[in-house]
Amino acid sequence: MASLSKVRVVVCDDHPIWRSGLRADLGENFHVVGEAGDADEAIEVITRTTPDVVVCDLNMPNGGGLKVAQTCGDTTAVVMLTVSEAERDLLDAVSAGACGYLVKSTPPAELRDALWRAAKGEPVFSPALAALVLGEFRRMARDAGPFQPLSDREREVLQYVARGHTYREIGEQLFIAEKTVENHVRNILGKLHLSRKQELIRYALDHGIE
């Protein structure tokens, strides 16, 4: 759980100028405790500094943001900050263990708000990317194979997330607690992660990969 006064951040990007600009954008409520330019360096810095949140580029040397999320996502909030708006990249990041996925064009004020919420345990996504998650569930619902469908409430929550509403706003709209909204989103992401794993297993069996 992040401090109420200041969030400790590790910034991971292979462009030093971008890291410098991001530090400036974060402002006084964030404390950058480490930086890294590739995945292996990022993992070392994260392990050593134990930050509240990691801001990580998807495409870096030595495995990129996916390797960082796979290695550190269970113990640290890892948020991808990338230029890619591709559905495949978003889904791979979620499956790897990222708790958020934001595009680099996100305005500084929105970025700070998202990272603060991620540090407190909320999954965070750019609104357009949340819509992609909803589209992926619709696609999987049409496909054959094992699939955990969304409940009506989970679908309703995800639709609000896709429109850019905060958890507090969603709770007010649906007359449920903010914590309940957070739990719904965690369940949604859990189902998505499980379905991606099942799809990989099915692909391997279909193509003779054992």
> Helix, strand, coil proportions of the chain in percent (round to 5)?
55, 15, 30
Query: Could you tell me if 68 and 101 lie in one domain?
Result: yes
pLDDT at 83: 92
Place of tokens 């405790």: 33
What's the average model confidence in pLDDT over 37-60?
96
| Domain tally, the chain | 2
Is the same domain home to 162 and 116? no
Please report the pLDDT score of residue 181 as a whole number: 87
Using DSSP, state whether 56 is helix, strand or coil: strand
**Last residue of some domain: 101, 125, 149?**
125
CATH of the domain at 180: 1.10.10.10
Confidence at residue 96, expressed as pLDDT on a 0 to 100 scale: 86
Q: Is residue 59 very low, low, confident or very high in pLDDT (cuts 50, 70, 90)?
A: very high
Looking at residue 3, its pLDDT comes to 45
Residues 121 and 153 in one domain: no
- Which pLDDT value is given to residue 120? 86
Contact criterion met (CB below 8 Å) for 10 and 34: yes
Mark whether 65 and 132 lie in a shared domain. Answer: no
Is 91 in the same domain as 155? Answer: no
Predicted TM-score (pTM) of the model is 0.71
- pLDDT above 70 covers a percentage of the chain that reads 79
| Same domain (yes/no): 104, 142 | no
Q: Are residues 119 and 134 in the same domain?
A: no
* Residue where a domain stops, chosen among 60, 93, 125: 125
Separation CA 2–CA 9 (nearest Å):
10
60, 97: one domain: yes
CATH code of 121's domain = 3.40.50.2300
Of residues 97 and 189, more confidence is placed in 97
The pLDDT of residue 115 is: 94
The widest CA-to-CA distance across the chain, in whole angstroms, is 54
Q: Quick one: 140 and 110 in the same domain? A: no
Q: Which domain holds residue 113?
A: 1-125
Report yes or no: 96 and 70 within 8 Å, Cβ to Cβ.
yes
Domain boundary among 91, 109, 125: 125
Sign for the CA dihedral angle at 177, 180, 181, 182 comes to positive
What does the alpha-carbon distance between residue 169 and residue 107 come to, in Å, rounded to a whole number?
20
Residues 138, 101 share a domain: no
At residue 30, the pLDDT reads 95
- Do 20 and 109 reside in the same domain of the chain? yes
11 and 66, same domain (yes or no): yes
